[in-house]
Structure 1
Amino acid sequence: MTVPGVILAGGLARRMGGGDKGRLMLGGQSLLSHVITRLRPQVGDLALNANGDPARFADLGLPVLADGVADFPGPLAGVLAGLDWAALSGASHIVTAAADTPFFPADLVSRLSDAADAAGVQIALAATPGPQKPLRHPTFGLWPVALRDDLRAALATGLRKVVLWTDAHGAATALFPATPFDPFFNVNTPEDLARAERMAS
């Protein structure tokens, strides 16, 4: 199925000193440009979840969706903003990707959809192998528009941890290989950015 995509860039990037982490340069392109290049072929419509003045992203040509919940409550608020946006076009699901993760798989969307279908559920999260159990990457997921009011109510109670909400709905896991490196490696610090440069080269 073709689903809309939402890039999650609503965080504060404290470990990078603040600002728009997605604008950091990697191999001559911004992190956001890398993410857009990977996600656009996999989805239908594409939007960016970000807070503050949306005009600073005008060059991307994407709708900018602000959190509808105050005080930067985390990725679930961005998911909800995406679900509300997708509901306007009658979409049944969205897929999300983080703005600071430039190497995620080119088959992300199809494998999330396959995992949800195989399990007979509406939500699927990406994961890579861990030492004891799969390591989930909850900013990379397939989310149903039908559960947006449930998510809104959960956020209103103070819920912030993504997997607490997804586990309550029996989310499936789409397992991706982590060789030669974890494709969901994300840039949180200057050291991470230097590592990403080495990975890109």
Structure 2
Amino acid sequence: MKQPLGVILAGGRATRMGGGDKGLLPLGGSSILGHVIGRLAPQVAELALNANGDPARFAQTGLSVLPDSIEGFAGPLAGVLAGLDWAAERGAETIVTAAADTPFFPEDLVPRLLLAAEGMAHPLALAATQEGGRQHRHPTFGLWPVALRDDLRAALRGGLRKVVLWTETHGGREALFETGAVDPFFNVNTGEDLARARALIGSSA
């Protein structure tokens, strides 16, 4: 299988942070998005950003900005679809997505997702963690097959919004990651989260 392309999902409305782009908030000499790019770029063949509105605000990243093609706020699956359409134009077979507000996700995200989906006709896997005997999926972190993009488009146009409902329909698997001292999929949703992220960056500097 060819190396996947990467798509950072930044289409959320950040309502708990008062709106705006969470990924552009300063963090450890960079931005939250800068940390996400730094982790995902080495794991993929090419990288793009899914975001709506004026793409100029992301000009400093140098990344292609892919808007949703589905009207209204259709959630992360709309960003996945935008990424799959972009990847199809490049002759890619798969993409891996990551959230723009999650600066500590695993640096082996892509190989672990690929391993989880090994042998599947249409590789499809979500990242997951386990806590207290319960498995928790992280639907913005996944491996997605370009071959299913038209199926996803039809599902979104039919009103589907829940990621797991679509992945389960296609036999999606999970790649299990350890949480350790810090949940690797910890994301910045509030001012308190941002303060915690800055403390974590400071402690690891």
Match of 1:103? 104
Consecutive unaligned residues of structure 1, counting only runs of 5 or more, are: none
Q: Is the 8 A contact 1:121 1:170 kept in 2?
A: no
2 CA distance for matches of 1:149 and 1:63?
22
Q: Is the 8 A contact 1:129 1:135 kept in 2?
A: yes
Question: Aligned partner of 2:112: which letter?
Answer: R
- In structure 2, do the counterparts of structure 1 residues 74 and 61 end up closer, same or farther at CA, with 3 Å as the change threshold? same
Structure 1 residue 132, shift from structure 2 partner: 3.3
Structure 1 residue 118, shift from structure 2 partner: 5.5
Consecutive unaligned residues of structure 2, counting only runs of 5 or more, are: none
Provide TM-score, normalisation by structure 1: 0.97
Q: Is the 8 A contact 1:121 1:172 kept in 2?
A: no
Cα RMSD over matched residues?
A: 1.1
2 CA distance for matches of 1:3 and 1:120?
15
- Counting matched residue pairs gives 201
Question: Aligned partner of 2:61: which letter?
Answer: L
Match of 1:52? 53
Structure 1 residue 45, shift from structure 2 partner: 0.8
Counterpart check, 1:29 vs 2:42: no
Match of 2:88? 87
Identical aligned pairs, as a percentage? 69
Structure 1 residue 130, shift from structure 2 partner: 2.5
Q: Is the 8 A contact 1:121 1:171 kept in 2?
A: no
Answer with 31-40 or 123-132: which moved more: 123-132
Alignment of 1:35-74 (within 5 A): 35-74=36-75
2 CA distance for matches of 1:119 and 1:4?
18
Match of 2:7? 6
Q: Is the 8 A contact 2:9 2:140 kept in 1?
A: yes
Q: Is the 8 A contact 2:83 2:95 kept in 1?
A: yes
SS in 1 for 2:138: strand
